[in-house]
Copies of this chain bind each other. A is one copy, B any other.
């Protein structure tokens, strides 16, 4: 063992041995416990391209040709080098490589312009991640475009190429124009990644399974409702987006299969208009015996405000506090209490959870979304793969207790 260590030091043959870290961990035992000493030891002094060249019996230039897939190398030589890589367990030193290439990563997030609270959170987290990314030679920029103008979005994407940025995360409606623009962007060598709103393009994307999100909302809602029958109010800003449709689909599937005593009403669309929302929600409440409400769009402010107004006007105000009380038995709750579930963690939904006007919030972590997109874009730029388990965006459930 001692011998092998000495050989290792010789092999690296550099003039700065004093600064090298040693392999041996502890010498409390004078005997040569070969495996014991290695059982949690580390493999440092990683082999370099120089070592590789020596092991493969070729020059460093050839090693470089193989490593960076340059042409003009005989298959036999390629094999020799690859074998040496295997044998030595060579791993390219990314720091050195990036330094040599003077590599920097420039990413753009293309987002809607709407004043959505959830979007604000996402942008906040993109900027936060950006602060840290400086260390990785990466920068991000946010470009907000009118989400109702696919042409403008496609046009903007058309202006991008590798001289401008290395990757783009795109949150945009799924229209043919946008789809084509993305495909052409990729042809130009710019990495493109659908972000939050899915695109009908095969391959990677960052976001949650909205079907599962809707199904989860339904499971919670169904189990929280204590009434033995009644209707569920379903409110959305618009049902035009794929996200809303998928959530509704997942929701209905669970309600129908597991909670047949509840009736999911047709979706009410607010179009972002408070007056309209007030009118259609009030009418639905008058016509049906509503025991629950599901707000499926990411912007919950208007519907929540309207529901609160109605509650107060009917003097059915709920107990205020961290937790919702059961009252005596649960008799007091069966009537008047509308179990409410909404989406996305925002200051608004957090307050509603704490105040008790919302019972649960289904959400995706905006920070995770931002960082995952950046990690994926970076990996795509480097032709690397990412940790699947790290990038999976979870359908999270928020209660007042786990905010």
Which A residues lie at the B interface, using CB under 8 A? 19-22, 25-26, 28, 40-44, 46, 91, 93-96, 98-99, 102, 104, 106, 108, 125, 128-129, 132, 134-137, 139, 141-143, 159, 163-165, 212-213, 215-216, 218-220, 222-224, 226, 228-229, 250, 254, 257-261, 323-326, 329-330, 359, 365, 367, 371, 387, 389-390, 394-397, 399-402
Contacts and interface: CB of A to CB of B under 8 A. Distances in A.
14 contacts: A21-B104, A41-B141, A93-B99, A132-B387, A212-B402, A213-B402, A219-B323, A219-B400, A226-B226, A250-B401, A257-B323, A258-B325, A261-B329, A396-B397
B42 A139 contact: yes
Contacts of A41: 141
Nearest to A392: B367
A46, A324, A395 — most chain B CB neighbours (10 Å): A395
A43 B136 CA distance: 14
Given A132-B387, A367-B390, 14 more contacts: A25-B164, A40-B143, A42-B139, A94-B135, A95-B95, A95-B99, A212-B402, A216-B399, A219-B399, A220-B399, A226-B226, A254-B401, A397-B399, A397-B402
Nearest to A260: B326
B44 A401 contact: no
Given A142-B40, A258-B323, A399-B216, A99 B102 contact: no
Contacts of A257: 323, 325
B104 A44 contact: yes
Contact of A387 (B40, B129, B387, B396): B129
A164 B26 contact: yes
A216 B402 contact: yes
Contacts of A259: 326
A294 B254 CA distance: 25
A371 B399 contact: no
A141 B397 contact: no
A134 B46 CA distance: 10
A46 to B, nearest CB: 8
Contacts of A330: 228, 261
Which A-B residue pairs are the 8 nearest by beta carbons?
A: A95-B95, A395-B402, A40-B141, A215-B401, A397-B397, A258-B323, A216-B401, A216-B402
A98 to B, nearest CB: 5
A125 to B, nearest CB: 7
Contacts of A402: 212-213, 215-216, 394-397
A396 B363 CA distance: 11
A371 B43 CA distance: 20
A230 to B, nearest CB: 12
A323 B254 contact: yes
Given A142-B40, A143-B40, A213-B402, A102 B394 contact: no
Contacts of A143: 40
A38 B21 CA distance: 46
Contact of A21 (B163, B218, B224, B329): B163
A144 to B, nearest CB: 10
Given A401-B216, A402-B397, A106 B163 contact: no
B135 A42 contact: no
A43 B387 CA distance: 29
A275 to B, nearest CB: 34
A327 to B, nearest CB: 10
Contacts of A95: 94-96, 98-99, 137
Nearest to A161: B26
